[in-house]
Amino acid sequence: MNKQFLFLAASLLVSASVVFCQQPAVAPPESLVVEGVPAIPGAMADTAGRYGAYRSAAVVDWHPTERSVLINTRFAETPQLHLVGMPGGERRQLTFFQDAVRLGRFHPNGGDYIVFSKDVGGGEWYQLYRYDVATASITLLSDGKSRNTLGPWSARGDEIAYTSTRRAGKDMDLWVMNPADAKSDHLLTQLSGGGWEPLDWSPDDSKILLLEEISINESYLWLVDTKTGEKTPFTPRDAKEKVSYGEGRFSKDGKGIFITTDKDSEFHRLAYIDLATKQHQYLTDKIPWDVDTFDLSHDGQRLALLEQFEHVGEDALNACDFLLVDGVARERRRAGLRGVVGARQDGSAAMTASPSSPTSTPTCQRSRRRLLRSRPSASRLSTAAAIWSATARTPTRSARSSRSSRCRRSTATTTTRSGAI
Count the domains in the chain. 1
Q: Report whether 274 contacts 256 (CB < 8 A).
A: yes
Q: What is the pLDDT of residue 414?
A: 31
DSSP string, 331-342: EEEEE---S--E
Q: What is the pLDDT of residue 412?
A: 36
Q: What is the pLDDT of residue 77?
A: 84
Residue pLDDT tens, the chain, 421 long:
555 555 555 555 545 454 445 568 888 888 889 898 888 888 888 888 777 767 778 889 999 999 899 999 988 889 999 999 888 888 999 999 999 999 999 999 999 999 999 998 888 899 999 999 999 999 999 999 999 999 999 999 999 999 999 999 999 999 999 999 989 999 999 999 999 999 999 999 999 999 999 999 999 999 999 999 999 999 999 888 999 999 999 999 999 999 999 999 999 999 999 999 999 999 888 888 888 888 887 777 777 777 765 543 333 444 444 444 444 555 544 444 444 455 555 555 455 455 555 555 555 554 444 444 555 555 556 666 665 555 556 665 554 444 444 444 444 333 323 323 2
DSSP element (H, E) containing 4: helix 2-22
Residue 330 in domain: yes
Q: What is the pLDDT of residue 280?
A: 94
Residue 400: give the domain boundaries. Answer: 244-421
Neighbours of 143 (CB within 10 A): 13
Q: What is the pLDDT of residue 2?
A: 56
Residue 76 in domain: no
Residue 386 in domain: yes
Q: What is the pLDDT of residue 289?
A: 83
Question: How far is it, in rounded angstroms, from Cα 77 to Cα 369?
Answer: 36
Question: How far is it, in rounded angstroms, from Cα 208 to Cα 153?
Answer: 10
Residue 367 in domain: yes
Q: Report whether 293 contacts 306 (CB < 8 A).
A: yes
Q: Which of 156, 270, 154 is nearest to 207 (CA)?
A: 154
Q: What is the pLDDT of residue 30?
A: 87
Q: Which amino acid is at 317?
A: L
Extended strands (E) in 31-120: 57-62, 69-74, 79-84, 91-93, 103-106, 113-118
Residue 194 in domain: no
Backbone φ and ψ for 50, nearest 5 degrees, come out as: -60, -30
Q: Report whether 237 contacts 221 (CB < 8 A).
A: no
Residue 92 in domain: no
Residue 405 in domain: yes
Residue 212 in domain: no
Q: What is the pLDDT of residue 28?
A: 86
